Structure 1
Amino acid sequence: MGIAGVAWGTILSRLVGLVILWSQLKLPVEKPTFGLDKELLTLALPAAGERLMMRAGDVVIIALVVSFGTEAVAGNAVGEVLTQFNYMPAFGVATATVMLVARAVGEDNWNRVDKLSKQAFWLSLVLMLPLTFSIYVLGIPLTHLYTTDSLAVEASVLVTLFSLLGTPMTIGTVIYTAVWQGLGNARLPFYATSIGMWCIRIGTGYLMGIVLGWGLPGIWAGTLLDNGFRWLFLRYRYQHYMSLKG
């Protein structure tokens, strides 16, 4: 079945996951209602919009990478497959952060909110940094599992290097996005992501990668600048918000 078989396997695995999660929730099967919860939409739409801006921007980024040749595209893809493991600790901590911050807000415990945000950042850093370093060190042998083309291997290792260098920025972006969502403000991360992706990541990536001729390193330098901007912006707004809470 080829690629179709892989696709069907993915669908079936997600279906099994859905059944397991549904069974654990023990939700009764009732007649569906079609009313809209305003508060739910206020939180869900900006969060979904943020993901949409990221994915749409990634399409443009890949279009820029394509201009560097087939080997660059292949190496970039392999590098992103390898580095996706790097972000798992931060994503896991972020999921817990949203829930814990929301609970602390409900309890009107702002000291707890501030403590949680700091703990989440440092915990993510401690968990993620050794992983990103290991993936970088093992970049060449891991890439050889996919290809032995020298240019593709070079591009893949470059991606793992930038993932390592951008670890603090990535963590800051992920954690402070989660903190703001826990605070009930999903719009601010949406604005930050939209500006960061479309103005900074794509803009500087095109400038450095295409105009200045830096190639793939220019594209990934733009990614680091984007994550750095979003981290500092969300953190600055968070500190201002917490100062108002006393």
Structure 2
Amino acid sequence: MNRKSSMLRTLFLLAGPTVIEQALQTVVQYADTAMVGQIGAQASAAVGLTITVTWLVTSPLFAMGVGVLALIAKSIGENDLDKARAAAGQAVWIALVLGILLGALTLGISPFLPGWMGADRALHRDASLYFAIICAPMLFRSFSVIFAAVLRAVGDTKTPMVVNGAMNLCNILLNQLLISNGQTFSILGLSVHIPGAGWGIVGAAVATAVSLCLGGMAMFLAMARHPLVRLRPKELRVDKPVLEQIVRIGLPVTLNRVVNCLGQVVFTSLVAGLGTLATAAHSIALTAEEAFYVPGYGMQAATSTLSGNALGRRDPRELAGVARASLTLAVGVMSLMALGLFLFPDRIMSLFTPDAEVVRTGAGLLRMVAVSEPLFAGYIICEGIFQGIGDTKGPFVCSMVCMWLVRVCMTFVCVRWLGLGLQAVWACMIADNVLRCVWLSARYLAGAWKARFSRL
């Protein structure tokens, strides 16, 4: 087997379970949105209003997960298993501290959030309650995100897939039992009635919260029992040098995600000013689009792990091979999926809401964004390469400039000064994604990553 074929095979083995895992998460997001959408456009808007803020408050979790993954992957590439285990031990402390702090923060701001977002008064109660309930188990969400990063770093992408798959199945079942008043299905001529609590949007939030608790506990047990991690009292002691390395890698990613998510919050608040229907169409279309970039983010996790391994082995040719294989796969797969998004946007939107006007508006948005999906794939993979080798400052600068100067400022001008609508808002979002791809691709081709190898 030649080097290229071997790299593609390794990518498939690592990325496959992660793609499936993220696809399952997207299915749950689809189910949540569809079930809430049956309640009405107001419920969809209330849930959609909180999505970007949830991204914001959980961004430090994913960022520290990147730091943990990069350090463990590099240590394994160097065959330094003691350091890899020490990094896993520090991940426990990071998960505990961030989970407690972010949980307290989100519960504190939940009553004021809808007003800060500029939402219609009618949305305030539902949006506030939904946000508080899904953020209450933040400690378990922290476990799920950070410990999954530890497992992926040691090459185990199957366990996070299984845990998240079970968590998502639990969420769907609880949605069915808690959101509606019950439904009757006809199966082979027999009527089967499934009872429901009729809690509406609160039921959707409780289903998510319970699933997060179960998933977080399962992910911790899976990590603690992994043979390459084997957490013992020695590894659970605070190791300041290792902790500092994780934070040094993760801090720019945290800033990156916070800057991105703050931009998303402002972006969503500008959309909220266009009215409830626009907010519903915007949030549902964003949810619908998620499935079409799942392969890119699944491959990003594998790309980061393999890039970190290449850095640990001091092999720049291996990193270049990882980049070529990842870009080929991600761009190819997302181009095919974008074709489906372009051809059938109305059918996709109708999965989530019976409101004809929301479907019509959202379908136009999906057809617009489909054109940019292949370029978005390029951005995702380039970001994964830089994160895997611990070079997180470049992507941070790129995200900050693109989010705030392109997406937010251009949207402000279009909505507040020019009086344009939702199509102009999405054009600004697409311009942001295209510029990110061009920026990071140019940075990679210029050889910015080679400095990491020369310092070893």
Same fold (TM over 0.5): yes
Instruction: Report the residue type matching 2:214 in the other structure.
Output: V
**Partner residue in 2 for 1:45:** 251
Deviation at 1:128, TM superposition (A): 1.7
Please tell me whether residue 2 in structure 1 is matched to residue 205 in structure 2.
no
Instruction: Report the residue type matching 1:44 in the other structure.
Output: G
Deviation at 1:210, TM superposition (A): 4.0
SS of equivalent to 1:76: helix
Instruction: Report the residue type matching 1:83 in the other structure.
Output: E
Please tell me whether residue 163 in structure 1 is matched to residue 369 in structure 2.
yes
TM-score normalised according to structure 1 size: 0.89
Find the partner of 1:11 among 209, 215, 228. 209
**Partner residue in 2 for 1:59:** 265
CA 1:118–1:208: 2 relative to 1, 3 Å: farther
Instruction: Report the residue type matching 2:277 in the other structure.
Output: E
Instruction: Report the residue type matching 1:16 in the other structure.
Output: L
CA 1:210–1:169: 2 relative to 1, 3 Å: farther
CA 1:150–1:213: 2 relative to 1, 3 Å: farther
**Partner residue in 1 for 2:422:** 216
**Partner residue in 2 for 1:174:** 380
**Percent of pairs with identical residues:** 23
Give the conservation status (yes or no) of the 8 Å contact 1:139–1:160.
Answer: yes
**Partner residue in 1 for 2:220:** 22
Moved more, 75-84 or 30-39: 30-39
CA 1:70–1:198: 2 relative to 1, 3 Å: same
Instruction: Report the residue type matching 2:371 in the other structure.
Output: L
Instruction: Report the residue type matching 2:280 in the other structure.
Output: A
Deviation at 1:87, TM superposition (A): 1.3
**Partner residue in 1 for 2:122:** none
Mapping for residues 184-199 of structure 1, pairs under 5 Å: 184-199=390-405
Mapping for residues 222-237 of structure 1, pairs under 5 Å: 222-237=428-443
Find the partner of 2:307 among 92, 101, 104. 101
Instruction: Report the residue type matching 1:14 in the other structure.
Output: L
How far apart are the structure 2 equivalents of 1:149 and 1:8? Answer: 25
Instruction: Report the residue type matching 1:120 in the other structure.
Output: S
CA 1:61–1:110: 2 relative to 1, 3 Å: same
Mapping for residues 62-101 of structure 1, pairs under 5 Å: 62-101=268-307
How far apart are the structure 2 equivalents of 1:168 and 1:146? Answer: 25
**Partner residue in 1 for 2:162:** none
**Partner residue in 2 for 1:238:** 444
CA deviation string 1:81-114 (max 9, x = no partner)? 1111111100000000001011112212112211
CA deviation string 1:15-72 (max 9, x = no partner)? 3222333233214464954454211101111112212122111111111112322221
How far apart are the structure 2 equivalents of 1:119 and 1:211? Answer: 45
Task: Name the larger-Rg structure.
Answer: 2
| Structure 1: stretches of 5+ with no match in the other structure | none
CA 1:164–1:33: 2 relative to 1, 3 Å: same
CA 1:244–1:129: 2 relative to 1, 3 Å: closer
Instruction: Report the residue type matching 1:192 in the other structure.
Output: C
CA 1:133–1:57: 2 relative to 1, 3 Å: same
**Partner residue in 1 for 2:333:** 127
Instruction: Report the residue type matching 2:332 in the other structure.
Output: V
How far apart are the structure 1 equivalents of 2:430 and 2:383? Answer: 16
Deviation at 1:243, TM superposition (A): 8.7
